[in-house]
Chains A and B, each alone.
Chain A
Amino acid sequence: MSISNKQVEWVCRLQSGKPLDAYRWLVGRLWLLSLCFLGLLCFTGVNTQAQTIQRSKPMYPTAWEGIVRIEASALIPDYTTPWSSGRPSAGSGTGWLVGKNRFITNAHVVAHATRLLIRLPSDPRPYEARVVHVAHDSDLALIEALNPKPFENLTPLQLSGIPMLNTEVVAVGYPIGGERMSVTRGVVSRIDFRAYAHTGVDAHLTVQIDAAINPGNSGGPVLQGGKVIGVAFQGINGAAAQNVAYMIPVPVIQRFLKDVSDGQYDHYMDLGITHFPIENPAQRLALGLANDGRGVLVTRVHSAGSAAGRMQVGDVILSIDGVPVFSNGLIDMEGQLVDLNEVVERKFLGDTVVLGLLRQGKKMRVNIPLKRFLPMIALGNQYEKRPRYIVFAGLVFQPLSRDLITAYAIKDSLVNYLFKEYLDLELYEKHPEIVVVTSILSDQANSYLAAYRNAVVEEINGVKIHRLSDVPAALDKVAGNRDFIEIKLKGVSRMVVLNRQLALQSTPSILAKYGIHHAQYLGD
């Protein structure tokens, strides 16, 4: 092993878990199964009066009649023109009947959808559908047909449990390569806690299979003994690995269904900590630990996380809900060695987790009521949200986000530093949002300011900017020299100034010139 090969894990941390080496590598190579499968869809109308179509016996088990093709038309927000309606796109995935007029599919199949259609394997007619619940953090969605009638006689598929390794599975769906239902076969290769590529920041229990799974399979069931053991959702690019496909296992599906059973989705909970294995003998000695293979060191306690105020950096976690924690961060759960987070993964808003700690040599127990870890969620890809922006004198102000960095391909080292350290340096405490001047729409009002593109706004007219919504009032404020608007940019050693009168005069004509109907969108 050489030092030069080592990488520092600063890019992404798994929620409350120890940083995983392969995380960044993996996210870069994961693909979502429906996104590459775009095609032009034709549709003429909705059948309100469903009638049974007489057909001969199909070539697949009757139960598979509930495995449907889902066609989605979507508008993908364009962060480089945040005022526009977005990019039209079309794609397809798979869904399956889980209950009365309830189909499970992937969140990424229905994300940003403006119209959804369900197609049954033996019925030529498309049926319009809508999203009932969507869980972007676990890439699952529940959809229903507007007209439940055609599905009344179908039998929902049943859920099983976590499969054994090396047992056979069958993936059913509508992947690329043809129009009809496709079946592929493989075995369960691995059960692990892994990154979910849809948000880019989540990680949950995942089952790896070696059945061929391709774009369009997304959301489709993986079956064993006729029952569902998972939802196909992502794979690894063929250049990096062969026959590696992932499915969302039953505990994650069940958690989703249970969470939405009260009519609303409350998301995953998170301790908001990071931990470090305690394998080193000197470290065990210094911390007063016996050589028993137990305990992980708490290395960060995020102020916005559930554990804030209850755990401390330097605590050793010995158990979680009474289950011993091994020194590599794993626990024994139902015979599987899984990440200690799996205990938290299965809990809901308001539930409590009990941690057995060693703090400065003293054993203690702490009860931690669980909540979401919002700053981490803010770092992920966002869905069903219109991009927010302000255009003033041609300067476009937008809050920093993963989508923004991707859209503009921002390489600025300060912006990247702030984004990557947002959690670890707890920048969210002072700056719930980092406001960036993302572009400058050229006009005589801003003719010399092009160099300040991608700069981070620190203050406007002496007002500290903590979020995008601080900007309008700050621009209006008169401070110091009343003829000028002063914008202080982070890391820029001069004030950027706008002649107030010129800026106010120019804004309407800039909006008209660049086809912008509204000078700002700050959210609903």
Chain B
Amino acid sequence: MQVMLLLKKISGIAILAMGIGTMPVLANELSPVASNQTQAMPARLHANPSIIKINVTQQSYNARMPWKKLPPVSSSGVGVVLDNKKVLVTASLVQDARYIEFEKPNNGARVAAKVMMVDFEANLALLQPSSSHASFMDDLVPLQLTPTIQEGDGLEVWQLGRTGELLVSPMVVNKVVVGRYLLPSSGFLTLEANGILRAEVTSVTLPFVKNGQLAGLLLRYDTRNQSATLIPSVVIAHFLRDAADGVYAGFPSVGLLVHPTLDPQFRDYLGLKHSQGGVYVGSVMRGTSGDSLGIVAGDTLLSINGRAVDRRGEVKDPLYGTIHYSHLLRGEAFVGETVRVEVLRNGHVVSLAGPLVRKDWGAHIVPMISFDAGPNYIIHGGLVFQELTYSYLQSFGDDWSATAPPRLVQIATDPSDLERQGIGRIVLLAGVLPVRGTQGYEDLAALRVTAVNGMPINNLFDLQTALQKASNRLHKIEFDDAPKVIYLDENQAQIDNKVLLEGDYRIGQLSRLH
């Protein structure tokens, strides 16, 4: 149940596009203000050598018709030039990008660019010009990261106008809090800043600056409350430090589902003393840092590296006041670092220590999101098989937890039973294309495939193998629910495959497996 809330909306791009796109002010009404501002700050006009316009054309896949790509969409952002002439942007800007280019604000010169490093969890990416254009960066000056940010700090957001002029708006940091980024898996530190973003130049990545140093990148903007959520410099610094050696380890996974211990009745029940804080650990996800530290469900987490965790799960922080404990295991710490924690277990305080580890978001039974790669699928004789992923569930709409097939939602919400059974992935008969061989099956959709030709199916590779084993030219496909079993004629399937490849459907390829 707790996971569900986090999963409501994942695509950072959609959020950003919505936030900025629905601003109630028309661009024309704003232009006099814009010219006033630029007059007031002539020194900055055409004169910032540390930012660059990034133009991106993105094209993602249709989650329900995985052989199809969606129409291409173009957007732009403002990248920040860092040391070694790398350009920092959010990962959502370059997700599923088909073409990226840099554009100089002062003269409009453009060159093709490419992604060097990307982390979709931290929603950060480093770009550089395609090899032949290295000199393009020569007149750009790196921006440094600000070492500290606090509530109350004044920031500037840098936007680029239509003719490349710099538009500067003030912002004030009003909150430092752990929040959601692009993926539902776990939280990162975010900054919330209040102020007005200029609507006439919409971009998905914008730099926020404190005293001439980079304080953060825009994650999303809420037009109604005029509140911007930022990826703070501390997370950016972590990303850069990790990426510096070329071997990117990523952020550790926490993997703990915890409950506050504010309720005095619950505290008495757990045997917590008045002086103790602590959060109750409801479950520990396999293969995460919580697991490697030896924390088990039923423990109460009391401290991390000697810093006490309070009843809400906050720890005291010299800079931010209080901050969610997960920041100590994720935003601040690196994979491989040893961490000491204290837990209350069966009434006794137990010390645990272990290394922080990362669990790839692809390693789950229901993988989070497949970035930059189309969904895996196999089409055979008109039957469309896919693996259950969050992208697939999200294709049922923003309220997919109510609109997607309840059994699939249930698997995504609580996969622990299947995990215990050693199931790798859930393979679905996602849909049926109407060809001669699928006569009578047209209405079948979203059924979990359990076996094909007698072989159990735990991923699409199993299915690929099993489809070679038709008996008497008939495939037997079994499901966990009605109609339980269907048959497919292999000879007809071969003919239908040809029709699907070359006929009206032009599906291009019968499978994608990676």
Contacts and interface: CB of A to CB of B under 8 A. Distances in A.
B440 A279 contact: yes
Interface in B428-461: 430-434, 437-443, 445-447
Nearest to B447: A8
Interface in A481-521: 481, 483-484, 491-495, 497-499, 502
B484 A313 contact: yes
A448 B263 contact: yes
Given A413-B4, A416-B406, A497 B481 contact: no
B109 to A, nearest CB: 42
B62 to A, nearest CB: 8
B484 A4 contact: no
A413 B439 contact: no
Interface stretch (A158-166, A214-222, A248-256, A280-288): A280-288
Contact of A278 (B259, B440, B442): B440
Contact of A424 (B283, B401, B481): B481
Interface string B229-255: 000000000000000000000000000
Contacts of A276: 482-483
B297 interface: yes
A497 B434 contact: no
Given A297-B483, A448-B262, A497-B265, A281 B439 contact: yes
A408 interface: no
A4 B64 contact: yes
Contacts, number: 131
Nearest to A1: B434
Q: Counting chain A CB atoms within 10 Å of each CB, which of B269, B280, B432 scores highest? A: B269
A481 B265 CA distance: 12
Given A413-B406, A421-B407, A280 B265 contact: no
B441 A417 contact: no
Interface stretch (B10-18, B335-343, B487-495): B487-495
B349 interface: no
Contact of A6 (B262, B269, B401, B445): B445
B405 interface: yes
B452 to A, nearest CB: 14
Q: Counting chain B CB atoms within 10 Å of each CB, which of A2, A286, A300 scores highest? A: A286
A274 interface: yes
Contact of A314 (B431, B445, B481, B484): B484
Given A491-B1, A502-B265, A282 B283 contact: no
B187 to A, nearest CB: 18
B484 A299 contact: yes
A423 to B, nearest CB: 11
B434 to A, nearest CB: 5
A297 B484 CA distance: 10
B431 A3 contact: yes
Contacts of B282: 492-494
A236 interface: no
A340 B64 CA distance: 35
A87 interface: no
Contacts of B402: 411, 413, 416
Given A424-B481, A493-B297, A494-B259, A484 B443 contact: no
A280 B407 contact: no
A494 B443 CA distance: 41
A8 B486 contact: no
A493 B257 CA distance: 8
A51 B410 CA distance: 66
A314 B485 contact: yes
Nearest to B482: A299
B65 A413 contact: no
A282 B482 contact: no
Contacts of B482: 274, 276, 299-300, 424
Kindly state the interface size class of chain B when it binds its partner. Answer: 35 or more
A1 B442 contact: yes
Contacts of B384: 3
B419 interface: no
Given A413-B401, A413-B406, A282 B437 contact: yes
A301 B479 CA distance: 16
Interface in B271-326: 280, 282-283, 297
B433 A3 contact: yes
B414 interface: yes
A89 to B, nearest CB: 29
A299 B441 CA distance: 14
B489 A281 contact: yes
A2 B65 contact: yes
Contacts of A497: 265-266, 269
Nearest to B412: A413
B387 to A, nearest CB: 15
A498 B265 CA distance: 6
B439 A8 contact: no
A15 to B, nearest CB: 15
A7 B269 CA distance: 47
Given A447-B263, A481-B269, A420 B489 contact: no
A281 B432 CA distance: 16
Contact of A412 (B1, B2, B259, B280): B1
Contacts of B410: 413-414, 417
Contact of A283 (B65, B269, B405, B486): B486
Contacts of A449: 263
B65 A285 contact: no
Interface in B133-159: none
Contact of A491 (B268, B297, B414): B414
A451 B71 CA distance: 42
A413 B405 CA distance: 10
Contacts of A416: 402, 406
A279 B486 CA distance: 11
A523 B329 CA distance: 53
A420 B438 contact: no
Contacts of B263: 447-449
Q: Counting chain B CB atoms within 10 Å of each CB, which of A277, A493, A498 scores highest? A: A493
A484 B406 contact: no
A21 interface: yes
B509 interface: no
Given A280-B439, A498-B265, A413 B413 contact: yes
Contact of A414 (B413, B476, B485, B489): B413
Contact of B65 (A4, A447, A494): A4
Given A3-B433, A297-B483, A449-B263, A8 B405 contact: yes
A277 B442 CA distance: 11
A292 B69 CA distance: 42
B440 A283 contact: yes
B448 to A, nearest CB: 11
Contacts of A495: 269
B474 interface: yes
B486 A414 contact: no
Interface in B371-408: 384, 395, 401-402, 405-407
Contacts of B447: 8
Contacts of B441: 280
Contacts of B442: 1
A502 B407 CA distance: 39
B487 A280 contact: yes
Interface string A1-26: 11110111110000000000100000
Q: Please provide the 8 A-B residue pairs with the shortest distance between their CB atoms, ordered closest to farther.
A: A493-B282, A3-B431, A279-B440, A448-B263, A299-B482, A282-B489, A280-B440, A6-B445
10 contacts: A1-B434, A4-B62, A282-B489, A286-B474, A297-B483, A413-B4, A413-B406, A416-B402, A447-B263, A491-B414
Interface of A: 1-4, 6-10, 21, 274, 276-283, 285-286, 297, 299-300, 313-314, 411-414, 416-417, 420-421, 424, 447-449, 455, 481, 483-484, 491-495, 497-499, 502
Given A3-B384, A3-B433, A494-B259, 20 more contacts: A3-B432, A6-B446, A8-B445, A8-B446, A10-B407, A280-B437, A282-B475, A282-B489, A282-B492, A299-B483, A413-B409, A414-B413, A416-B406, A448-B266, A455-B1, A484-B268, A491-B414, A493-B257, A497-B269, A498-B265
